[in-house]
Chains A and B, each alone.
Chain A
Amino acid sequence: MASAAQRRIKSISYAKYGYMFIAPFFLVYCFFQIWPLIYTFILSFKGNQANNAAFVGMENYSTILFGKGSSAGAAATHAEFAKALGNTFILWFGNFIPQILLSLLLAVWFTDAKVKLPGKGFFKIVMYMPNIITAASVAALYVNLFGDSKNYFINATLLNMHLVSEPIKFVTDPVNSKIMVMFIQTWLWFGNTMIMLMSGIMGISPSLFEAADIDGANSTQQFFKITLPLLQPIMVYTLVTSMIGGLQMFDLPYLFHNGANFSKELETVAVYIYYNFNKGTVEQASYGYAGAASIIIFAITAVLGSITFYMNRDKDAIAKKKQRKKAEKQMKAKMKQGGLTI
């Protein structure tokens, strides 16, 4: 019954079009990502500063990871990198936890049909707003408002109102500055997370909540028994994206400082990498350390990534396995029946 045209189409191989459609991606990706990555990998085996052209093997890694290397500052280099790695995780953790809790709470409230909330749309819009502002501007804004002395808005106001007797060091104090970055990061992202979670909650069938209502479950029970379990995939997604974002946190920690240099107390791995390869001339820069730190972060990402990948794939596989078992059971049952009938 097939027409001539259909027959002709069937006989053409379309595979080559597939390759042509995906070729630009792969060409560009290899050129601008893979080769720089390999280049970084090569740099990680080369020396630093005046020694930049020499091949030094694994020394940058041993210096950064264990403080064992020929450089006199090996131990300090290791300490700095370890601190940067620690800061990265502290800053990420310290913004992710409040952010997800706040967003979850707001998402549940905003999707609760029983709550009468005027201006819901306005709240959503305002709360998402910080997310679109450039992080560099946000850092500049907060540095200028929260400066360390009485010459800046917040401290001046606090002092005027006699709430404090000494200015609070929001920018240079090791603990305060971290809290500030966590706060700003939360400020930037809670609206985004909230809207994602809201769309997740709205995706849950309302009949589930209705049934729970009829059964007399209160809203806390509904939250823990229905909302939270069904939100799990989207929560995992938020976790993963936030983790990747956390690993590359740069703008805020780099720009949140007073004076000419970034604050070592806020140094994240991304700042560490940037600082080491961006010190000026080739003989000033530490390309080796920057390269090694990059590859270490790559390895960490790869591990974290494959864990989530594995978890996601596993679920599918488990589901399929279950289905297969079920089918086998049915088969067996049928055969039994059949056997009986026979």
Chain B
Amino acid sequence: MSMKEQYGQQKDSYHSKIMAKSIAIFVVCVILTLICLVPIYILIVNSTHAHMDLAQNPSRFFFGKSLGANIKTLMNDLPADAGKAAKRVAQQYSSAFSLGRGYLNSLIIAGFSTLLTVFFSAMTAYGLTVYDFKLSGAAYTFIIGVMMIPVQVSSAGFVRFMYSLHLINSFIPLIVPAIAAPAVIFFMVSYMKSSFPLEIVEASRIDGCGEFRTFITIAIPMMKPAIAVQAIFAFVSNWNNYYTQNMILKNADYATVPIMVSKVLAFDKNIDNGVNYLCITLSIIPIVVVYFILSKFIIAGVALGGVKE
């Protein structure tokens, strides 16, 4: 065996080893992908079946024909000759799960919370890094210290307090507290320390620019990447914040998407499984679609979060 042949063989076995490994990894990834997607697929399939079909055989893998009927039920838009049972179901589901209203409420809460969170966190972080004042060290230590406190710790007092302020069934307790987001401030402070030159503040002062204007016209544009990352996280976590929303919002007119889903889940009368699945589908699909559109950006943002924190 010549040297060349031997080398070639080794190279081949090396390559086939890599190949085998790649294939194994690929298979694992496909399985995990299926685990992520199949529940969603089954969910969508089930929402296209009628209650009676699901009662006879709940194991459905292919699309049914009742999606339109389920949607009509959910929108309480039944044909005039519909039976009373169908009307009851439609009545119940449409008053508990009104998609437009739920999405609007969730958007208002998550949108404003996100704006407040990123704006005021950037502002606090700016105050802590740019200015040198007596209590800045203490303030920063405090923020790091309270960063870990879970919301549940103060929730009993929070609800009683909001109750006494008549802020039940109001968006204020869900939006205004977003101003104080210690973890976001922590992230922004470390971001500013690494990539915000203080000289620029000095320069703008020489140009006669006021402090707030400097912050808004110079600092905020420079912090855009950090703000974008935190805005994504803040939006997702506020959108999904079932715990606090459920404590504060008792009026169906203010219900958000997570609350509506939990309401549908809690029905004990007039249950229609097809419509049940449809409600869950409608609560998930728009978010998933938006996610897939923005996914590259979001994944990059998560990765940035991993580097900074």
Contacts and interface: CB of A to CB of B under 8 A. Distances in A.
Q: Do chains A and B touch in the complex (CB under 8 A)?
A: yes
Interface of A: 3, 5-6, 9, 14-22, 24-26, 28-29, 32-33, 35-43, 106, 109, 114-119, 121-137, 139-145, 150-153, 156-157, 160, 187, 191-192, 195-200, 202-203, 234, 237, 240, 244, 247-248, 250-251, 255, 259-260, 269-270, 273-274, 277-278, 287, 290-291, 294-295, 297-298, 301, 304-305, 309
A15 B153 contact: no
27 contacts: A9-B202, A18-B131, A18-B133, A24-B120, A26-B180, A36-B160, A36-B161, A37-B157, A43-B157, A118-B26, A126-B36, A127-B32, A128-B299, A133-B284, A135-B240, A136-B240, A139-B265, A140-B280, A144-B43, A144-B276, A152-B58, A157-B59, A234-B306, A244-B150, A259-B268, A274-B247, A301-B149
A131 B19 CA distance: 31
Contact of A153 (B35, B36, B46, B131): B46
A115 B25 contact: yes
B243 A274 contact: yes
Nearest to A14: B131
A293 to B, nearest CB: 9
Contacts of A150: 58
Contacts of A115: 18, 21-22, 25
Nearest to B54: A151
B258 A298 contact: no
Nearest to A15: B133
Contact of B306 (A129, A140, A196, A244): A196
Nearest to B119: A24
Interface of B: 18-19, 21-22, 25-26, 29, 32-33, 35-37, 39-40, 42-43, 46, 55, 57-60, 120-121, 123-124, 126-128, 130-136, 139, 143-146, 148-161, 173, 176-177, 179-180, 182, 185, 202, 205-206, 208, 211, 215, 236, 239-240, 242-243, 247, 257-259, 261-262, 264-266, 268, 273, 276-277, 279-280, 283-284, 287-288, 291-292, 295-296, 298-299, 302-307, 309
Contacts of A309: 144-145
A134 B287 contact: yes
A33 B59 contact: no
B149 A137 contact: no
B277 to A, nearest CB: 6
B155 A136 contact: no
Contact of A199 (B29, B43, B46, B304): B304
Contact of B127 (A18, A119, A122, A273): A18
Nearest to B32: A127
Given A126-B33, A133-B288, A40 B153 contact: yes
